[in-house]
Amino acid sequence: MSKIMIVDDELEICEFLKEFFIDRQYDVVTASNGDEALAKVDNESPQILLLDVKMPGIDGIQVLKEVKRKNPNIKVIIVTAVETDDKISEAFQLGADNYITKPLSLEDLERDVQEKISRLVEER
């Protein structure tokens, strides 16, 4: 079973997406801030991260940098309301695998996650 980690400081978003992906046969862990996310990446070794940008403390961009440094194989999808060109290009430069803005289509998100997972399988 593929493991997704959802990182968002909004509890409702974490809970909703957790349920959504559990229903779709994923293993799901959540984190509500950057520190928690980085700690759980080590312990839980998820294959894919859905990562918010604006969070108190360590923000999503820093988490992305750190995660990719630790393990470039982890797929990171940025999920954020921030839509500025420089943030987007910064994220891609740091190795983000996609950048999705809220509000998002759940179908598109699920498709994207599936695609990243299947690429992981190919890469192996």
Partner 1 sequence: MVSINYPEILRFAAQSMVRVKSPTTLMKMITRFLDKKIGVKHASIIVHDPEKDYYVFCDSKGESKLPISLIRLDMNHPIIRWFNKKKEWKNLIKEDYLSQTNINSFLADKSLISSNNQLKKNLLSIKEQMKTFKAELCVPGYYRGSLLGIFLIGAKRDKTEFNREEISLLQILASDASMTVKNAEYQQRLLKKIGELEKSVSEINRLRIRDKDKYLQTIITLAQMVDARDPYTYGHSEEINKLGMLTARQLGLDLSGDREQILSSSLILHDVGKLGVPDDVLHKKGPLNKEEWYKMRDHVRTGARILEKHDDFKEVSTIIMHHHENYDGTGYPYKLKGDEIPIQSRIISVVDAFHAMVSDRPYRKGMSYDSAIKELKRCSGTQFDPDVVRSFLKVIQKEIKL
Task: Using CB under 8 A, list all residues that contact partner 1.
Answer: 10, 12-13, 15-17, 20, 23, 81, 102-107
Task: State in angstroms the smallest separation of the CB of 52 from partner 1.
Answer: 10
Task: State in angstroms the smallest separation of the CB of 99 from partner 1.
Answer: 15
Toward partner 1, which CB reaches closer, 9 or 65? 9
Task: State in angstroms the smallest separation of the CB of 16 from partner 1.
Answer: 5
Toward partner 1, which CB reaches closer, 2 or 80? 80
| CB atoms closer than 10 angstroms to residue 71 | 13
DSSP string, 19-84: HHHHHTT-EEEEESSHHHHHHHHHHH--SEEEE-S--SSS-HHHHHHHHHHH-TTSEEEEEES---
Toward partner 1, which CB reaches closer, 42 or 83? 83
Toward partner 1, which CB reaches closer, 20 or 87? 20
Residue closest to 109 by CA, chosen among 37, 15, 6, 32? 6
Task: State in angstroms the smallest separation of the CB of 112 from partner 1.
Answer: 14
Question: CB neighbours of 15 closer than 8 A, spacing ≥ 6?
Answer: 30
